[in-house]
Amino acid sequence: MSTSSTQGIKTVLHTVSDLSAAKAMYTALLGLPPQTDSSFYVGFDTEGQHIGLVPAGGAENLTAPVAYWHVPDIEAKLAEVTAAGATVKELAHEVGGGRLVATFADTDGNVLGLIQDR
């Protein structure tokens, strides 16, 4: 049984080869402009979801979309999933504004993420 529940998948990051083209396509898809728009990250907030665009995989070296589960205690959840067979890819670390992120691979190698907002 889990000692720390999740708050659901609220963030999905997509790696893109052309940030400008992807920004235009996601703006059309979502029907709104990005709330975060920089040369290294474009983010859209819609209907309780955050969709992020990361050029060429970004600092995380993404190669495919990564779904991030929001959790109240990132360290506890990371310990739970590793005890259940997951492999840590990226330890929990702050990315700004008190937000902590971590990534891990499940038992089939799929990369998943965790986010904790302080």
What CATH number is given to the structural domain containing 86? Answer: 3.10.180.10
Query: Residues 57, 64: contact at Cβ < 8 Å?
Result: no
Shared-domain flag, residues 32 and 56: yes
Shared-domain flag, residues 76 and 117: yes
Shared-domain flag, residues 52 and 33: yes
pLDDT of residue 118: 86
pLDDT-derived band at 71, boundaries 50, 70, 90:
very high
Whole-model pTM: value is 0.82
> Does position 2 have pLDDT exceeding 60, yes or no?
no
- Amino acid identity of 115? I
Domain that holds residue 46: 8-62
Query: Residues 62, 21: contact at Cβ < 8 Å?
Result: no
- Amino acid identity of 59? A
Q: What CATH number is given to the structural domain containing 18?
A: 3.30.720.120
Shared-domain flag, residues 12 and 57: yes
pLDDT of residue 81: 96
Q: How many structural domains are present in the chain?
A: 2
- SS3 track for the chain: CCCCCCCCEEEEEEEECCHHHHHHHHHHHHCCCCCEECCCCEEEEECCEEEEEEECCCCCCCCCCEEEEECCCHHHHHHHHHHCCCEEEEEEEEEECCEEEEEEECCCCCEEEEEEEC
